[in-house]
Amino acid sequence: MTPDYPLPEFTRSLRALGVPSERGSDHDVVFAPLLDARRAAERAGSVEQQLAAFDAGKLERAWRSGIATLAERRQRMSPADRRALSAELELLAAPLWQALADLKRAAEATRLARPDERRQAWERWVEEVRRVFRAADDWWGHALPALADPQGERGAFWRRVLRSAR
């Protein structure tokens, strides 16, 4: 841990993250990348290692892979429904994708900051990490209904889209 740049607690105010889960559960698929990043950042010996631990591209790839995993678990027999569920989960994750884009910009600004501006840039980056945690927590809450009943209230996502186009 970098003594001059200690990371704050990111998870205390989150509701969904703290729900107990079994290893490999859907909850784990969603939150493991973020918790792994947090552990790596805690072990970091420099700001650069902290930034690398929360690499936005790596987190996004992990979550997109997780979405594919979640859809596969629910729609093994129907490729169309699997794609539709994936699309719905991706759409619900729009605030998370935006938070990751903002995190990437903040990390770059921290890397490029002059020494006298580095602390301030790092603090802005920390706020973006906090936003990513909140966005992931919120996304999980919005994704649960689609995951709990992949047919949804009135049918699978792609069927609802087709109906609304009529």
37-81 pLDDT, tens digit each: 999 999 999 999 999 999 999 999 999 999 999 999 888 888 998
Provide the percentage of residues in the chain whose pLDDT is more than 70. 77
- 35-44 pLDDT, tens digit per residue, is 899 999 999 9
User: Residue 2 and residue 43: Cα distance in Å, rounded?
Assistant: 8
Does the pLDDT of residue 15 top 90, yes or no?
no
Tokens standing for residue 9: 């607690």
Is residue 110 within 8 Å of 47, Cβ to Cβ?
A: yes
Q: Report the pLDDT averaged over residues 101-123.
A: 96
Domain ranges of the chain: 26-165
**Sign of the CA dihedral 33, 39, 45, 47?**
positive
Q: Which residue has the tokens 């047919």?
A: 151
Return the pLDDT at 145. 87
Does the pLDDT of residue 28 top 90, yes or no?
no
Does the pLDDT of residue 93 top 50, yes or no?
yes
Does the pLDDT of residue 153 top 50, yes or no?
no
Q: Which of 164, 166, 165, 155 minimizes the C-alpha distance to 80? A: 155
Does the pLDDT of residue 152 top 70, yes or no?
no
Return the pLDDT at 25. 78
The CATH T-level fold of domain 26-165 is Four Helix Bundle (Hemerythrin (Met), subunit A) (1.20.120)
Return the pLDDT at 144. 87
116-140 burial by CB neighbour count: b if 16+ within 10 A, else e? eebeebbebbbebbbbbbbbbbbbb
Q: Report the pLDDT averaged over residues 12-20.
A: 56
